[in-house]
Amino acid sequence: MANIQEIKSAFEKELSTCQTLAQLQDLKVKYMGKSGELTSLLKGIKDLPAEERPTFGAKVNELRNIFEEKLNYKSAAMKAAELQRRINEEKVDISLCEMQPWGALHPVTLAKNEICSLLISMGFEVLEGPEIETDYYNFQSLNIPYDHPARDMQDTFYLADGILLRTQTSAMQSRHMEVKKPPIKMVCPGKVYRSDSDASHSPVFHQIEGLVVDKNVTLCDLKGTLEYIASHLFGKDTKVRFRPSFFPFTEPSVEVDLTCCNCGGKGCSLCKGTGWIEVLGAGMVNPKVLENCGIDSSEYNGYAFGMGIDRIAMIKYGIPDIRLIFENDQRFLKQFGK
Ligand code: PHE
């Protein structure tokens, strides 16, 4: 019995010094665990005279209940104090007026969204294609065989035999024509890659491809579509001019110029005094490309165009160097926030 009293005071003393839940747990094990103090007390019961055993056993059990209760009480108090501490510390002061700064869409995203919405309003569907592309879709299906000199116009990053980083979103033309029967009206925005780098060329840049395949499509349809886009992007007086050009996948092919949005066509530094700005390549889909994709070129024809989104964004927002677009300088990007 004297032992019981001793253990009780020792427990209480130790309990009063406990400061963490872990310490409480250790204390519990020390007194109530398998080889704890109370268990050894109970083991000693066999050495007592038989008549004392029930009282002794009851006392030990009572002690166990007291310990249990004290431990629970203290641990609940510790948990409550911890919660209170976190509530105080993590309190959100909603009256604080310094808000997170607003983000802004990237100028290329702004231009892409604007061009895509215009095309969507004319019934085009928006598709995306792979940036790691096969030589077949990027070149061969578009009437550019292995030894074709037109490959020199697009300095290509080859990854492995027959695999490359696409140099043009035109690769998506054949992918789509293979699976969709005409009428087709699609646009494909995305990144393209060429081994080129200076103030107006970046090894990665963005294009939007447009493709229409149907019966009786004309160059006039192409011009009308481009005039609609140009007038919405750069103002209603913007004029569109076609110059003869060459792309293996279009015939005839054109280079498309717009009247300079900076000087209205009078001539300035942006248009290098010409009054015109070159913005895209286009043409009537070469019948060979249609046939490569299983479309009967005696029944169907079409037009295609490919424009550089970065270039459009640079003209629209007066960005002097294409590298600004890829540097992610916050001072530059912030200007496009509302
Ligand atoms: N893919 C061409 C380029 O990157 C642009 C183009 C697209 C030309 C579609 C004609 C038709 O230069």
pLDDT in tens, 50-83: 898 898 889 889 999 999 999 999 999 999 999 9
Q: Distance between CA atoms of 320 and 269, rounded to whole angstroms?
A: 11
Single-letter amino acid code for the residue at 176: H
Output the CA 142–ligand 1 centroid distance in Å: 10
Angle between helices 219-234 and 309-317 (to 10 degrees): 40
Take residue 10 and report the two structure tokens written for it: 């020792």
Does ligand 1 lie within 6 Å of residue 303's CB atom? no
Q: pLDDT digits over 12-33, tens only?
A: 999 999 999 999 999 999 999 8
**Residue 253 Cα: closest atom of ligand 1:** 10
Secondary structure of residue 334 in the 3-state scheme: helix
Give the pLDDT band (50/70/90) at residue 321.
confident
Q: Which residue among 247, 249, 253, 310 is best mutated to probe the pocket of ligand 1, counting the most ligand atoms within 8 A of its Cβ?
A: 247
**Over residues 107-125, mean pLDDT:** 97
Q: pLDDT digits over 225-284, tens only?
A: 999 999 999 999 999 999 999 999 999 999 999 999 888 889 988 889 999 999 999 999
Q: Among 85-99, 153-167, 177-191, 261-275, where is mean pLDDT lowest?
A: 85-99
Does ligand 1 lie within 6 Å of residue 247's CB atom? yes
3-state SS record for 67-116: HHHHHHHHHHHHHHHHHHHHHHHCCCCCCCCCCCCCCCCCHHHHHHHHHH
Helical (H) or strand (E) element with 60: helix 53-89
Half-sphere exposure (CA, 13 Å, Cβ side) for 159? Answer: 11
Q: Kindly list the distances between the CA atom of residue 159 and the CA atoms of 91, 164, 184, 192, in Å, as whole numbers in the listed order.
A: 53, 5, 31, 14
Radius of gyration of the chain (CA): 39
Q: Which residues contact 338 (CB under 8 A, 6 or more apart)?
A: 102, 104
Single-letter amino acid code for the residue at 32: M
Does ligand 1 lie within 6 Å of residue 306's CB atom? yes
Compute φ and ψ for 40, nearest 5 degrees. -70, -35
**Residue 308 Cα: closest atom of ligand 1:** 4
Does ligand 1 lie within 6 Å of residue 168's CB atom? yes
Cβ count near 243 (within 10 Å): 11
Does ligand 1 lie within 6 Å of residue 302's CB atom? no
Q: Which residue among 168, 254, 256 is best mutated to probe the pocket of ligand 1, counting the most ligand atoms within 8 A of its Cβ?
A: 168
Take residue 280 and report the two structure tokens written for it: 């895209």
Does ligand 1 lie within 6 Å of residue 124's CB atom? no
Strand order in the sheet with 276-285: 125-126, 184-193, 204-214, 301-308, 276-285, 250-259, 240-247
Q: Give the burial string for 327-338 (b: 16+ CB within 10 Å, else e).
A: eeeeeebeebee
Question: What pLDDT does residue 4 have?
Answer: 84
Supply the residue whose CA is at minimum distance from atom 2 of ligand 1. 306
Output the CA 23–ligand 1 centroid distance in Å: 73
